[in-house]
Amino acid sequence: MAICLSIFIIGTPFGFIFFEETEEALLPNLKQIKEKILTESKSQTALNIFFNNLIVSLILLAGGTFIILPFFIMFTNGFLVGFIIKLLLEKNLGLIFFIKGIILHSVFELPAIFISAAMGIRIGLSYLTRDNKRRVSRVSQRIREAAVIYLLVVIPLLLIAAFVEAFISAELVM
């Protein structure tokens, strides 16, 4: 998890620094998300956020076996945070707006995402043993552990994060 967090943190200044170069590509997507949030019910928005984050977490879990995919997704998420910070500063909305709009639900969402990535990487690393008998046992054990943690920790965190984002964070910034 520390590695995933580090990659996320490394991505953040890149999003800030390369704001102008990526603004044209990213702003239409952010506007589209905002419009969708404004036209849907809060419950529908929460469910959409939950399922989107659920898909990302499953990609991280399954893709983690290839080890590099979680690093790319963590970097990209960090990049987006840096981009949004720069966007808010450009619009003179400041750090308080960022805290109200992102931090509250991120307390639940980011640990879930980091856990998913870390579990996927852990499964991937368990493939790297020379003993085939031990490999199968180790991979199976890691998959079982990941399934339990995913069901008991990741899914509830993502559900809480989605409803906090739709019902609280959205209200604080509107």
Give the relative orientation of helices 19-39 and 2-17 as an angle to the nearest 10 degrees.
110
Task: Quote the mean pLDDT of the chain.
Answer: 89
Q: What pLDDT score does 35 carry? A: 77
Q: Give dist(CA 38, CA 35) in Å, integer.
A: 5
Q: Give dist(CA 17, CA 34) in Å, integer.
A: 23
User: What is the torsional sign of CA 122, 154, 59, 136?
Assistant: positive
- Domain range for 55 is 2-173
Q: What pLDDT score does 144 carry? A: 96
| pLDDT tens per residue across span 45-92 | 999 999 999 999 999 999 877 778 888 999 999 999 999 899 888 888
Q: What pLDDT score does 137 carry? A: 87
Q: Give dist(CA 8, CA 117) in Å, integer.
A: 11
Residues 6+ positions from 23 with CB-CB distance below 8 Å: 87
- pLDDT of residue 103 exceeding 70: yes
Among 106, 108, 112, 105, which Cα is nearest to 146's? 112
Q: Model pTM?
A: 0.86
Q: What pLDDT score does 174 carry? A: 66
What are the structure tokens assigned to 163, written together?
A: 């409803």
What are the structure tokens assigned to 104, written together?
A: 């509250």
Among 131, 72, 82, which Cα is nearest to 102's? 82
Look at 126 and 154; give whichever has higher pLDDT.
154
Domain count, the chain: 1
Look at 31 and 114; give whichever has higher pLDDT.
114
What are the structure tokens assigned to 8, written together?
A: 């996320």
**Pure H helices in 40-100:** 42-63, 68-90, 94-98
User: What is the torsional sign of CA 154, 157, 160, 166?
Assistant: negative
